[in-house]
Amino acid sequence: MMHSYVRGLRDSLIVAIGYVPVAIVFGMTARLFGFSSLEAFLTSALIFAGMSQFILISLVNTSFIYAILLASLVNLRHIIYGCVLAERFNIKRKFLIAFGLTDEVFVLSISKDVFDEYYSMGLITGSYASWILGTLAGVLFMRAFRMLGVFQGLEFALVALFIAILVLYVENLNDLLIALYSIIITIVLSFLGLRQVAPLIVVIAVLLICMVFERGDRK
Amino acid sequence: MINLYHMIAIVCVAVVTYLARYLPLRYGHKITRIERVSHILRNCTIAIIASLVALSLVPSYLSHNIDIVVPTTLGVIISVVLARRLRNVGIVAVIGLLTYLAAYSLLKCIVL
């Protein structure tokens, strides 16, 4: 039991290497977008889902409902993780495992033939701790930047982060086409003055395209 | 210290995120056609991220300000190349930011 937990904690170092820089960027950008240090900390502590946290902080000041909607929408992919785990394994402490079921924890958990709850909890503990500590480090870095008088251009961290996530998601021609369609539609909508609702319209457009292609495939 | 709107938004997203993780763990074995749902959700995620990338870049390019356009372009190129090679979003974000800041500072020095 303890051995499994420690093994999970040890394996979480791999996850932490990826998490800490992202969390630092999150802490910095949260402060940049007007979140207090406590709010930045609470965002990481309560949500614990990188991409939606970034979407939330970048949109919440312009459109409250819309920010919640989009930030929640990107997290719906977690439904799949839960379905896959529920189908393959009999998990007892679902309420605990659910909190830390991030992309990385899911991948490492299903890489085992048997689902070891203590191993997963070790993984979650390490990942969560690194995410929280990284966020706090980012908040402190931002204070240092402010003391040095550096403000201009810091928001580019968010752009670079979104680009990196997009590049990692694009694995085949289909993904690339969806990304390009989305970018083109967003640019057109921006010029039409519909900047704020662009991502939502893009999602609807992509869903329609998927439906059309699926019907075509059935015929 | 705490903005009420921020807190409500944080709690709402936290609840939705937790439910999106917990409910399928509890009832997921009843959901069939996982692959199809997975495919659609994946496409939606790509669409949202791509849209956010475009949204964050459009103002820079519309500014027609060389001090912003050049560092942005360099930052984007470096971020794309590094993301493909390193596959670590955090490090890419940090290096992308440093590239942007370095190019911006350099251009400011040249202009001055």
Instruction: Indicate the domain borders of chain A.
Output: 2-148, 170-218
Task: Say what the pLDDT of residue A30 is.
Answer: 92
Residue A1, helix vs strand vs coil = coil
Between A27-36, B33-42, B71-80, B84-93, the lowest mean confidence (pLDDT) is in B33-42
Summarize pLDDT for A147-177 with one digit per residue, the tens: 766 666 777 887 888 898 899 889 899 899 9
To the nearest whole Å, the CA of A148 is away from the closest chain B CA by 14
B-facing residues of A in 7-36 (CB < 8 A) are 17-25, 34-36
Task: Say what the pLDDT of residue A39 is.
Answer: 95
Between A40-49, A100-109, B76-85, the lowest mean confidence (pLDDT) is in A100-109
Whether A180 shows a pLDDT value over 90: the answer reads: yes
Whether B86 shows a pLDDT value over 70: the answer reads: yes
- b/e map of A42-61 (b: 16 or more CB within 10 Å)? bbbebbbbbbbbbbbbbbbe
Identify the top-confidence range among A70-84, A128-142, A197-211, B79-93. Answer: A128-142
To the nearest whole Å, the CA of A3 is away from the closest chain B CA by 25
Alpha carbons A140 and B39: distance in angstroms, whole number: 39
Amino acid at B104: Y
What is the pLDDT confidence band of residue A216, given thresholds at 50, 70 and 90?
A: low
| Complex-level ipTM | 0.84
The residue of chain A with its CA nearest to that of B62 is A191
Whether B35 shows a pLDDT value over 80: the answer reads: no
Contact between A49 and A75 under an 8 Å Cβ cutoff? The reply is: yes
The residue of chain B with its CA nearest to that of A101 is B21
> What number of other Cβ atoms are within 10 A of residue B103's Cβ?
20
Specify the pTM: 0.78
